[in-house]
Amino acid sequence: MAKDFPTREENYSQWYQDLVVKADLAENSDVKGCMVIKPYGYSIWEKMQAALDKMFKETGHQNAYFPLFIPKSFFSKEASHVDGFAKECAVVTHYRLKASPDGKGVIVDETAKLEEELIVRPTSETIIWNSYRNWIQSYRDLPILINQWANVVRWEMRTRLFLRTTEFLWQEGHTAHATKEEAIEEAERMLDVYTEFAQTFMALPVLRGTKTANERFAGALETYCIEALMQDGKALQAGTSHFLGQNFAKAFDVKYATKEGKQEFVWATSWGVSTRLMGALVMAHSDDDGLVLPPKLAPIQVVIVPIYKNVEQLNTVSETAIKIKKALEAKGISVKYDNRDTHKPGWKFAEYEFKGVPVRIAIGPRDIENQTVEVARRDTKEKAIYQITDIDLKILHLLDQIQDNIYKKAVDFQNANTFRADTYEEFQELIEKGGFVLAHWDGTSETELKIKEDTKATIRCIPLHNKLENGKCILTGKPSTQRVVFAKAY
């Protein structure tokens, strides 16, 4: 089943699309731009959610839930915010259907028109800050550290499974603080959380930095981001954390009384990651034989496949297989024992390879005699014979090794595809090849846009704690004090 789609070399974009669909992660629905996340894909998302949610709670955040709908007038209150989102909003105008006069189906009931249209949230700053106005009176009510797991809608014209969909699932943190410093600290803390999540769970190295004014979130004073490199040399923005200043507090009139009794506007952050991470996970690690999942996010970490010729052999093998399954599960490993007699072992091997199961254990009658099993790892395709003694500890160790190896491979790839350009010619050549290109830039939006026009590359970020060095802008030759990171991006 795994082979009827192009290799990465042949057609990276089609490889990705086919892999997502054939590995049962997601599929396009009959609603334009909206996807169905299938159980196998959703179980990876659940693992991401669980890990992130734990990290959010450990950093003092609580979950809450705000309305799906935002009154149109709320949107206009923060000028750059509405500019950023107005062009991609799903608008609810009516609240009732009625039978069609021709007897065929239903039509919108024009008498049920809303006085004010409602926008399906593309992000929730406005509706949340409208609530915070009532929640915050004094410094004692601060900080507010809230996160929300939700669906959002941004009307996209060109969509691609997980990477860009009209509806997507995400979390959005919205915090309120008494001081500017505290808000900036929070925005940076959450960037750290995202970085740790990407590296530790997704096995994904990321660059950390701030966005240029052009690429900032609509309404933010500073947007922090993590950027990852995909196997085709394109960058993918994997998470953002925004320092919003007092913009939303001013738009929604949210003030607090200081200890000294003065009225001040509240400082804000927001931060989010989405099901886009699923796309990053697939594109960063998978190969021409299918998914490669880091063990920490794999729904099934170990599959056990019995090898047998008759029921008697199956019974013998099963006895040991089930013992091993239990031993592994006792160590917190998720295991599937696939004893279906409808498929041959070879078919099962290909299936689980395709689905990215990190470790496959095969057991046959000879293994039982020798008290061994055959262990195959998905990442390197290596096979080895293991003695069954202490198999639980060995597999636990192997899963760690696989997690580390997948990460290391991605780090090596990123290093091998990070370049420095000192002339525009050099830059254009490198950008055409793909990868991160570090180059000097004169700091103006005009230059940034001209470079984008010429090469399709954008400034992915200005690295945090960037090394300062004198140089000249690759386009204009004007003086620059640091290199920024360019790439073509998803």
**Binding footprint of its own copies on the chain (CB under 8 A):** 27, 29-31, 34-39, 42-43, 45-46, 62-76, 82, 86-99, 104-106, 108, 117-120, 127, 130-131, 134, 140, 146, 150-151, 153, 155, 167, 169, 342
Least distance to its own copies, CB of residue 437, Å = 35
Which residue's CB is nearer to its own copies, number 21 or number 314?
21
Which residue's CB is nearer to its own copies, number 153 or number 283?
153
Least distance to its own copies, CB of residue 249, Å = 17
Least distance to its own copies, CB of residue 460, Å = 28
Least distance to its own copies, CB of residue 106, Å = 5
Distance CA 291, CA 378 (A): 9
Least distance to its own copies, CB of residue 40, Å = 8
Phi, psi of 175 (to 5 degrees): -120, 155
Distance CA 227, CA 212 (A): 14
Query: Would you state the structure tokens that stand for residue 2, as one six-digit string?
Result: 């795994």
Pairing relationship of beta strands 222-229 and 207-210 according to DSSP bridges? antiparallel
Burial of 490 (0-12, 13-18, 19+ CB in 10 A): middle
Phi, psi of 439 (to 5 degrees): -150, 160
Angle at which helices 424-433 and 445-455 pack, to 10 degrees? 50
Distance CA 302, CA 327 (A): 12
Which residue's CB is nearer to its own copies, number 90 or number 314?
90
Which residue's CB is nearer to its own copies, number 146 or number 474?
146
Which residue's CB is nearer to its own copies, number 14 or number 29?
29
Least distance to its own copies, CB of residue 218, Å = 13
Which residue's CB is nearer to its own copies, number 37 or number 457?
37
Least distance to its own copies, CB of residue 99, Å = 8
Which residue's CB is nearer to its own copies, number 105 or number 261?
105
Distance CA 121, CA 259 (A): 35
Distance CA 95, CA 34 (A): 22
User: Is 404 in contact with 451 (CB distance < 8 Å)?
Assistant: no
Q: Is the peptide bond before 295 cis (omega within 30 degrees of 0)?
A: no
Distance CA 403, CA 395 (A): 12
